Amino acid sequence: MTEAVAGPITLRELQDIPVERLKGVGDKKQAALKEVGVSSVLDLLTTYPRRFVDRTDEARISDLVPGQEALVLVTVRSVTKRTMRNRRTMVEAKVGDGSGSMHVVFFNQPWRERQLREGLQVALFGKAELFRGGQQMTNPIVDLIGDRTGKIVPIYPQSEKAQLSTWEIAGWVENALERCALRGFEDPVPFEVRRELGLIDRGRAMRQIHMPQTMGEKEQARRRLAFDELLRVQMVLVMRKRAFEREQRGIRHDMSGDLVRRFHAALPYPLTGAQSRAIAEIESDLAGPHPMHRLLQGDVGAGKTVVAVSALLCAVQGGHQGALMAPTEVLAEQHAAGIRQLLDGLRVPADNLFGERQLNVALLTNRVTGQERRDVMAGLADGTVDIAIGTHALIQEGVAFHSLGVVVVDEQHRFGVEQRAALRTKGSNDAVPDVLVMTATPIPRTAAMTVYGDLDVSVLDEMPPGRTPIVTHWANGPLMELAAWGDVRTAVAAGQQAYVVCPLIDESEKLEVASAQETFERLVHQDLKGLRIGLLHGRLPSADKEQVMGAFRRRELDVLVATTVIEVGVDVPNATVMVILDADRFGIAQLHQLRGRVGRGQAASLCWLVTAQLEGTSPRVEALVGSTDGFELAEIDLELRGEGTLMNTMQKGRSDLRIASLRRDRELVALARSVAFGIVDADPMLVRNQPLLDELGLLLSAQDEEFLFKS
């Protein structure tokens, strides 16, 4: 590895060196490494330790506190295995250090008898408990550390199945680093950036992450390597954004018209500061030469629709058309009804003998058929339809617009990149329509910068006047549940309505979860006897769904029992109480979305989160009781859930985030983004930074690579 080529070693060279070139990797170990995804030296060096044992600060058995998790370094003294009555196995080991001894018990892990040989040094991580007067750990995490010396011992992900131990991996890593030492590592992050951000160079980071002398050194290395991962992701997003701006010709919308101002003047309430700010950002995009590519993030009820309609009217007042796309037919129909009501009586100033004309809003979904469909299609083609609202039917073959100017896409996470691209082809004379993407799912800032990093972001973080805050209670167990039904009866007696939300339609033997059907029967005959109750779930035919929803809107029903089909877009201002059953089975974002279906009118609103009697706490339920701020809840959700689920919405490459964390590295995400803009704006095609360009090609997926190299 120290051969021929001069200059620092690059990641691509390390990727091209098979792992069997290292000392001690024979056929058997090569196969074992391949099983855990390591076939090159680069794979090995980016297999980072998952934990570090700090021998300078290590707990001893005599210091263990029952009920508290701790890490102890011990020697195995004896191991026994026995089969219990129900054919389950129990492996018991006696371990000790200089300060004392304890028992360790493993249930149903027979292989532990082979793993824990007498005299072996191991690190145990688990909760100590008192058992028969002595200390014991049950099913702790075991790390074999062999005879590794040094103050800080790295612990690598081990594989019992592949028979790889942490000290073998550490030995190969040290061998690889030794052989790289002569040439050093290529570092594509400019020196000025490293100096300004206080980042160590890559070679030092690689050594310190695998062989730190202190925990401080390990942290320095982790920060540098995490920055590299985040920078690569941001480079692709920023290059994509800038290329899109360079290559696509947008429509410079005429902002001098009167239509948008008339719309705002006719609203029954003033715009919030956040709405005014978002509208100004959108108008500035629309007036510019590049097509808009913006994400509008707003909590449930923050007034996104008014902002979206303002954008559509900007297109209409300049002589173009607007389109709004929703993920489902029900939502498209609701948008159409809501927007027609908002725009009722709004006249379009016209340059003709007849003066002003009525604004024309049309609905196009697969349910619109026959002559009505032909009329809508003709209106889109000749420009007499100003605003089209529909599902993805709007971008199907055969739908032609006269001059599509602005497109609003609702609920981005149900809408693929291909569909966004298909919309672009609907513009006229090669000019690309401006796109505004709306989401009611508050996304933590770091995740928004990563998942939607090629979009500009506008945030609605204020509630419009007249929205009453929702008070949330937790009913833990059947006794407290009675209070929830009492509140439903009180609301109905005051002329208001309520939702009851259940997780499943049919009773499932696996999950003891209240089903909608069963809950409906129970409420009708017991808890809410005498009230008018309707049932809504996903398996009902469309016509029945509409009939039930219509009856609820017209106040012919007091209570609607529903599955999560009501999560998105159902708007009944007279509904003031929501009871969510088995609330601990839902995620934070979903609970917050559901809760946003009440509190839409003037009256005070309540949400009850009902759980079976839980021992101890439920962090998710408690978070909802404590806050109604979607952005705050999104951050808590990220803490509780980790970011895995967020990253998989990106087209990610092999690199993914191995060491960076959107949770822990919030500050680094923002820094990486601003560094990426600096690098790309000075050198759009990375002509002067070939090593970085090469790394993007190496470590990002085929879709990203294709994007980068076609430019």
| Residues 521 and 621 both lie in one domain | yes
| Average of per-residue pLDDT across 611-630 | 87
| Residues 376 and 435 both lie in one domain | yes
CB 541 within 8 A of CB 553: no
Tokens 């730190």 sit at which residue?
A: 212
Confidence of residue 652 (pLDDT cuts 50, 70, 90): very low
| Residues 573 and 432 both lie in one domain | no
639: pLDDT strictly greater than 80: no
> pLDDT value at position 654?
40
Report the alpha-carbon distance of residue 513 to residue 182 in Å, rounded. Answer: 63
| Residues 480 and 394 both lie in one domain | no
507: pLDDT strictly greater than 60: no
| Average of per-residue pLDDT across 337-346 | 91
> pLDDT value at position 516?
82
Confidence of residue 264 (pLDDT cuts 50, 70, 90): very high
Best CA proximity match to 143, nearest among 161, 155, 152: 155
Q: For residue 558, give the CATH number of its domain.
A: 3.40.50.300
> pLDDT value at position 649?
43
**Above pLDDT 70, what percent of the chain?**
88
> pLDDT value at position 643?
56
> Amino acid identity, residue 445?
R
Between 539 and 667, the higher pLDDT residue: 667
| Average of per-residue pLDDT across 5-15 | 89
Confidence of residue 709 (pLDDT cuts 50, 70, 90): very low
Report the alpha-carbon distance of residue 321 to residue 384 in Å, rounded. Answer: 9
* Domain presence at residue 520: yes
| Average of per-residue pLDDT across 619-633 | 89
Best CA proximity match to 410, nearest among 343, 311, 318: 311
> pLDDT value at position 708?
44
Q: Tokens in use for 378?
A: 């003709």
* Domain presence at residue 249: no
| Residues 425 and 480 both lie in one domain | no
* Domain presence at residue 554: yes
> pLDDT value at position 651?
39
Of 79-83, 277-281, 422-426, 619-623, give the lowest mean pLDDT range: 422-426
| Residues 398 and 518 both lie in one domain | no
List, for residues 209-223, the tens digit of each pLDDT value: 999 999 999 999 999
List, for residues 28-49, the tens digit of each pLDDT value: 999 999 988 899 999 999 999 9
* Domain presence at residue 591: yes
| Residues 475 and 432 both lie in one domain | no
Report the alpha-carbon distance of residue 94 to residue 101 in Å, rounded. Answer: 7
CB 466 within 8 A of CB 604: no
* Domain presence at residue 609: yes
> pLDDT value at position 349?
81
| Main-chain dihedrals φ then ψ at residue 64, nearest 5 degrees | -65, 140
> pLDDT value at position 710?
41
Which domain does 498 fall in, by range? Answer: 470-627
Best CA proximity match to 561, nearest among 540, 588, 543: 540
Best CA proximity match to 500, nearest among 530, 471, 469, 534: 534
| Residues 499 and 618 both lie in one domain | yes
At residue 608, the 3 state secondary structure works out as: strand
> pLDDT value at position 540?
79
| Residues 66 and 142 both lie in one domain | yes
List, for residues 98-133, the tens digit of each pLDDT value: 899 999 999 988 989 988 989 988 888 889 999 988
Q: Tokens in use for 1?
A: 């590895």
| Residues 474 and 582 both lie in one domain | yes
Confidence of residue 82 (pLDDT cuts 50, 70, 90): very high
420: pLDDT strictly greater than 60: no
CB 48 within 8 A of CB 658: yes
Average pLDDT taken over every residue of the chain: 86
| Residues 375 and 475 both lie in one domain | no
CB 259 within 8 A of CB 317: yes
H helical segments located in 425-477:
445-451
Confidence of residue 630 (pLDDT cuts 50, 70, 90): confident
Confidence of residue 462 (pLDDT cuts 50, 70, 90): confident
Report the alpha-carbon distance of residue 187 to residue 189 in Å, rounded. Answer: 6
| Average of per-residue pLDDT across 618-626 | 91
- Among the candidates 439, 462, 485, a domain finishes at 439
List, for residues 671-702, the tens digit of each pLDDT value: 999 999 999 999 999 999 999 999 998 887 65
Domain count for the chain, please give it.
3
CB 455 within 8 A of CB 673: no
- Among the candidates 155, 184, 199, a domain finishes at 155
Angle, vertex CA 97, rays to CA 92 and CA 100, nearest 5: 80
Between 489 and 241, the higher pLDDT residue: 489
Q: For residue 126, give the CATH number of its domain.
A: 2.40.50.140
> pLDDT value at position 645?
42
Strands (E), 343-455: 347-348, 357-358, 361-364, 387-390, 404-410, 434-439
> pLDDT value at position 569?
53
> pLDDT value at position 426?
75
* Domain presence at residue 369: yes
Task: Answer yes or no: pTM beyond 0.85.
Answer: no
Report the alpha-carbon distance of residue 49 to residue 170 in Å, rounded. Answer: 9
- Among the candidates 104, 127, 155, a domain finishes at 155
> pLDDT value at position 163?
78
User: What element of type H or E holds 494?
Assistant: none
List, for residues 150-203, the tens digit of each pLDDT value: 678 888 887 666 778 888 899 999 999 999 999 999 999 999 999 999 999 999
Best CA proximity match to 225, nearest among 195, 200, 191: 200
* Domain presence at residue 489: yes
Strand partners, 582: none
The DSSP code for 491 is: H
CB 655 within 8 A of CB 699: yes
570: pLDDT strictly greater than 80: no
510: pLDDT strictly greater than 60: no
| Residues 348 and 392 both lie in one domain | yes
List, for residues 280-323, the tens digit of each pLDDT value: 999 999 999 888 989 998 887 788 999 999 999 999 999 999 99
Between 285 and 586, the higher pLDDT residue: 285
At residue 664, the 3 state secondary structure works out as: coil
Between 238 and 53, the higher pLDDT residue: 238
* Domain presence at residue 652: no
CB 238 within 8 A of CB 680: yes
In Å, how far are 354, 404, 711 from 290, measured between CA atoms?
Answer: 35, 15, 17
